[in-house]
Structure 1
Amino acid sequence: MAVNEIQRFDAVVVGAGFSGLYALHRLRAQGLRVRVLEAADKVGGTWLFNRYPGARCDIESIEYSYSFSAEIQQEWNWTEVLPGQPEIEAYLNFVADRLDLRRDIQFDTRVVAMTFDEADASWLVETEDGQRFVAPFVVAATGILSVPLDPGIPGLETFGGTTLFSNSFPREGFDFTGKRVAIIGTGSTGVQATPVVAEQAEQLYVFQRSAAYTLPSPGRPYEPGELEALKAGYDEIRAAQRTAHVGAARLSVFSVLTNMGSHPALKTASREEQQRAIAERGVVGALYWRDILSDPEAGAMATALYGEAVARIVRDPETAASLVPNYPFGCKRPIIDQGYYETFNRDNVTLVDLRKGGIEEITPTGIRTAQGFYELDVILFATGFDALTGALARIDVRGRKGESLREFWATEGPYCYLGLQMAGFPNLFTIQGPGSPSTASNFVAAMEQQIDWIADCVAHVRDGGYRTIEAQAVAQTEWIDQIVDLVAGSVVVHPDCTSWWLGANVPGKKRMYTTYALGLPEYRRQCAQIAAAGYAGFTLS
């Protein structure tokens, strides 16, 4: 086919991760001709690229999985309670083969522009290599943690050793044996990678910009017969999942948050009770009190108690003190780890607390900080993502009258109705966009609900003889303003918190909280109610 020849479909899906695969399956089942455009050479999305040492999910495998197919649930066998990256990637490949999805996926195809044609009521989708696709509907399954941040450190290009990035780690792996290694960043990626790299490296320096709250992982292999018993009760598990606030009814990173209500208040606990809590439960014992998210004084007490719990694990007092966050618990998504704090007791591991003196430059032989110079052979960057809006904003998306989505989000903020559509961009749907449960939920459970809603919406438009559906500007403003009001004054918008939930980790990005906080069941109810009311807040034309 000639490069400049236009290919026409009923729908184009951008991305072949969890969301893109299900969107393809769901829309194709409705009789639509669908083409998925994927920049990578394989399926997997974030679980294809983020293959760094220790990469692991923080939701239990049997719930961090598709629920739409009883056959897939029974045929796939998870080996671990919290699955690692290789197992999740293998699972997505299994699903792609089981549902014969690859025949409608075009790999090595990066979308660079999408333009709405008002006369034709369709989208022109253009790729990096000059291919053009036209479809009335586009589903942006571009991911919420798929665009890594540029480290932005002077001299990076001069480093003579090996430079690695967590989001594009070599597929063949990397042997750190005998190497002097730096990990820059202590978010989830850095926390997961540190214990694994420390076991190989001759010397590991962990460069910490902001200390993290991290909880011991409940991950382990399934016991013989355990998975079979869970599969036998899958209907009950899924039913409980649908009513759970975060879309995960069993083990997850959110467990400590959802269990807080059943525990006493920290401010009324005696010193003996506080000490017993951390003696019995470690760092979790510092954070499970019911008042620490709602009462700033209790939150400060929890941070201090957390520091005491860390000091019981990390032998060096200065290192232990540096590992204590200087912001309240709950303003960032919690992290789970496998021996993170214990790793700092190893002779070959050094914490570099950048709050005591930041990085000045990278040189051909290492990293220079205000505290001193570190000779290195390898630098592994774990510096985070431009979350929620980053992937779609990097595509030149232009709606009615040539309006730029990138410019709108940059100037006005990440406004979006239900996390599904933006005013001025008809028939363009986002998965887990601003205003959805997204990062405060089990991604897969939330994603399935959104794609089901989108598929039903597309059917409504087509069957009703309409050409377009478009979010109304007033509706999207009211939706996001409601979300912002819900968290006003809470820990998630604390001024000391540079959370990617807020976009505060991205220089120049408008700081704004847009994650739906009332929980997945209430979000599902509101979406259903809006659809039942003839898609209230949308314009059908």
Structure 2
Amino acid sequence: MQQANPSSDKAPRRLDALIIGAGFGGMYALHRVRGMGLDVHLIEAGDDVGGTWYWNRYPGARCDVMSIDYSYSFSDEIQQEWTWSEQFAAQPEILSYARFVADKLDLKRDISFETRATSVHYDEDAALWRIETDRGDLFEANYCLMATGPLSVPKQVDIPGADRFKGDLYLSGKWPHHDVDLKGKRVAVIGTGSSGIQIVPVVAEQAEHLYVYQRTPSFTLPMRNRKLDEDYVAHIKAHYPGLRAVARHSLTGGVRPITSRPVFSVTPAECEKLLEDAWQHSGLAFLGLFSDLLTNRDANEVVAEFVRGKIAETVNDPDTARRLTPRGYPIFARRPCLDTGYYEAYNRDNVTLKDCLEHPILEITETGIRTAEGEVEVDIIIAAIGYDALTGAMLSIDIEGRDGRRLKDKWADGGRSHLGLMIEGFPNLFVIAGPNGPSALANFILLNEQNVDWVCDCIEHMRAGGLRSIEANADAEDRWMDKVTTLGSHSLYPTANTWYTGANVPGKPRTFPVYIGGFGRYREICADAAAEGYRGFTLR
């Protein structure tokens, strides 16, 4: 992920703050910090804003959070001027939105694109960070804001022979910025997580034949996407203040319905009707139907079995339906997916499911993919194999804190921090949305706003008091990690092999570093710490 840093005799550029990453968190951070009158700059590896939505351009890429939630709330002017076309926006529209905001706020004048941080080292005597880039730049900044995101380092293809494939091999998370012609081609998709589930129905309509290499069957629900009519959009825009207030105090940071109703509080017949109604309405309604799906294994199994029945109803071939049916882990313990025609795609004559649980991939050859069943020749391979999530982006940079402590060593057993915002041993280094907060389970844009606001308020507090540095206390970090771990252990999340737990990356520590107490409660905890003089932190 890093390029060698060329030697440079450039003089360092002195800043108040440097931001790394121009996704939605970094963009808002640049706007807020600049509004404080500070000298701030942002570096970004891509050649445009958008973060994940800059890189993820694969066929069918779409957000599975409602557009009215997955958008900035800090500016009513932006809310009123921008109009979403669909309930769940596709990647091109989300990228257009990011560009619209960047232009509206004139952000690009303070961004260096195609620039990747290679080292971030702290000078304790000077109380500043020295940041080097792959372009030979050197920055010195009092504050370093890591807006690198939880899903920004795609896993590389680790299948033997991948480097000798003579066709085209694409990573879904680093899709090329030119059109990829799939018409009349034999295409293989490896992976059936969120990205693979979006890719399959779209590619199936274009390819001569599509082979789907499924390593772990996923539960996925119908998205039921729709265009937004003018009256509905006007209604939303008129009521944005109230909607945003509700979202900020909600479990997920959004306005989708969520109930306090346990599964077994209704009769089996009532449960079946609720499930059927939600399935027909949308997977979004389905997600908030019952309150105990991730704490009660028996309740979880009731809902899982309903979805398994829907797979059997939808997929015509019983053997294919059986192979597509997830078993052995709780529903929603892996990231819940919303799809458009995923299971239906397997009823097409030009789609073949390859079950890697029964016949694992042995190698990629010059002409295709080989399993124990034999070789399938293909022209194009799409690897939708996921991310080194939550910690991968920061660990891809050489980060060294106080007393020469390296983040790689600090996080050798898993990501740890206080409140998901700061790391003991790394003063003035702020994490916008990494591990130990609710980043994997909350509306990401609202979370970015919450954390950026907290960081900016903290910096203002320090400057007003003539303070040079702030650092998380070791005991506060330990207590927070105990809270995160204890809450997680009371749920079913850690029982599945997922990117939530790091199980998708060989050799990565198996932890569940996500706060599951809810977005609203997380906001309260962060606000309380600040109100109590930044309890849990040392200010110097």
| Band the TM-score falls in, shorter-chain normalisation | over 0.9
Number of aligned pairs? 529
Cα shift readout 1:59-91 (whole Å, capped 9, x = no counterpart): 111211111111111111211111110011011
In structure 2, the partner of 1:506 is 505
Pairwise CA distance, 1:301: 3.9
Q: Distance in 2 between matches of 1:16 and 1:205?
A: 35
Q: What's 1:422 paired with?
A: 423
TM-score, with structure 1 as normaliser: 0.94
Aligned with 2:279 (options 278, 281, 300): 281
Maintained 8 Å contact 2:488/2:514: no
- What does residue range 320-469 of structure 1 map to in structure 2 within 5 Å? 320-326=321-327, 327-410=329-412, 412-469=413-470
Call closer, same or farther: CA 1:273–1:295 in 2, change over 3 Å.
Answer: closer
- The 5-angstrom pairing of residues 453-492 of structure 1 reads 453-492=454-493
More displaced 10-residue stretch of structure 1: 261-270 or 223-232:
261-270
The aligned counterpart of 1:87 is 93
| Secondary structure, counterpart of 2:529 in structure 1 | helix
| Kept after mapping to 2: 8 A contact 1:265/1:290 | no
One-letter identity of the residue aligned with 1:480: M
Deviation at 1:281?
A: 3.1
Q: Which residue identity lines up with residue 533 of structure 2 in the other structure?
A: G
Letter in 2 for 1:42: D
Give per-residue Cα distances to partners, 1:284-311, cap 9 Å, x unaligned.
Answer: 6998455543332333343333221110
Gaps of 5+ in 1: none
1:513 partner letter: F
Shift of 1:321: 1.0
> Cα deviation per residue 1:137-169 (whole Å; 9 max; x = unaligned)?
000001110000112000001111111111121
Runs of 4+ with deviation above 4 angstroms: 275-280, 282-291
After superposition, residues 252-271 of structure 1 pair within 5 angstroms as 258-259=258-259, 261-262=260-261, 264-265=263-264, 269=268
Match of 1:144, as an amino acid? Answer: P
Say whether residues 1:182 and 2:156 are aligned partners. no
The letter of the residue matching 2:525 is Q
8 Å Cα contact 1:11/1:138 also seen in 2: yes
Residues of 1 paired with 2:135 and 2:293: CA distance? 52
Corresponding position of 2:4: none
Distance 2:398 2:271 in 1: 56
Aligned residue runs from structure 1 range 211-230, under 5 A: 211-230=217-236
Partners of 2:351 and 2:358 lie apart in 1 by 18
| Identity rate, percent | 47
Q: Secondary structure at the match of 1:225?
A: helix
> Structure 2: which 5+ runs fail to align?
1-7
Query: Residues 273 and 530 (structure 1 numbering): CA distance in 2 closer, same or farther, change over 3 Å?
Result: closer
For the 8 Å contact 2:419–2:480, the answer to whether it is kept is yes
Q: Which amino acid aligns with 1:505?
A: N
Cα separation, partners in 2 of 1:397 and 1:408, compared to 1, 3 Å? same
Match of 1:328, as an amino acid? P
Which residue of structure 1 lines up, in the alignment, with residue 201 of structure 2? 195
Q: Which amino acid aligns with 1:324?
A: T
CA deviations 1:331-375 (Å, max 9, x no partner) are 112010011011110010111111111000000110001233211
Cα pair 2:222 2:279 within 8 Å, conserved: no
Give the 3 Å change call, closer, same or farther, for CA 241–489 of structure 1 in structure 2: closer
Aligned partner of residue 201 in structure 2, secondary structure: helix
Contact 1:360 1:370 in 2 (8 A): yes
Letter of the structure 2 residue corresponding to residue 71 of structure 1: E
Aligned partner letter, 2:200: T
Q: Retained in 2: the 8 A contact 1:55–1:189?
A: yes
Contact persistence 2:70–2:445 (CA under 8 A): yes
1:489 Cα shift?
4.5
> What's the counterpart of residue 137 of structure 2?
131
Contact 1:329 1:491 in 2 (8 A): no
AA at the equivalent of 1:468:
S
**2:117/2:131 contact within 8 Å kept:** yes
Q: Name the CA distance, whole Å, in 1 between partners of 2:262 and 2:497.
A: 28
1:37/1:105 contact within 8 Å kept:
yes
Quote the offset at 1:219 in angstroms.
1.8
370-379 or 293-302, larger mean C-alpha shift: 293-302
TM-score when normalising by structure 2? 0.94
- What's the CA shift for 1:461? 1.0
Aligned to 2:319: 318
Q: Which amino acid aligns with 1:153?
A: I
**Deviation larger for 273-282 or 38-47:** 273-282
Deviation at 1:533? 0.7
CA deviation digits over 1:183-232, x for unaligned, max 9?
Answer: 00111000001100000000001111111111111321112332122111
Assess if the C-alpha contact under 8 Å between 2:293 and 2:299 holds in 1.
Answer: yes
Post-superposition Cα deviations, 1:310-341, rounded to whole Å, max 9, x if no partner, equal: 10000111111111112111211201001101
Q: CA, structure 1 residues 339+291, in 2 after alignment: closer, same or farther (shift >3 Å)?
A: same
Partners of 1:265 and 1:291 within 8 A in 2? no
2:296 match: 295
User: How many angstroms apart in 2 are the aligned matches of 1:263 and 1:296?
Assistant: 12
> AA paired with 2:212?
V
Residue type of the partner of 2:66?
A: E
Deviates more, 1:154-163 or 1:272-281: 272-281
Q: Deviations over 1:232-289 (max 9, x none)?
A: 1111211221121110013xxxx5xx34x3364299525x964894488369699845
Give the Cα separation in 2 of the matches to 1:46 and 1:184: 20
**Partner of 2:334: helix, strand, or coil?**
coil
Residues in 2 aligned to 1:286 and 1:227: alpha-carbon distance in whole angstroms: 23
Match of 1:5 in 2: 11
Cα distance in 2, alignment partners of residues 136 and 471 from structure 1: 16
Quote the offset at 1:95 in angstroms: 0.7
Name the counterpart of 2:309.
Answer: 308
* Cα 1:273–1:539 shift into 2, 3 Å: closer
Residue type at the aligned position of 1:281: W
Deviation at 1:398, TM superposition (A): 0.2
Counterpart in the other structure of 2:529? 530
Contact 2:263 2:299 in 1 (8 A): no
| More displaced stretch, 205-214 vs 234-243 | 234-243
Residue equivalent to 1:159: 165
**Distance in 2 of aligned mates of 1:129 and 1:377:** 36
Structure-2 change in CA distance of 1:398 and 1:275 (3 Å)? same
**Which amino acid is 2:484 matched to?**
I
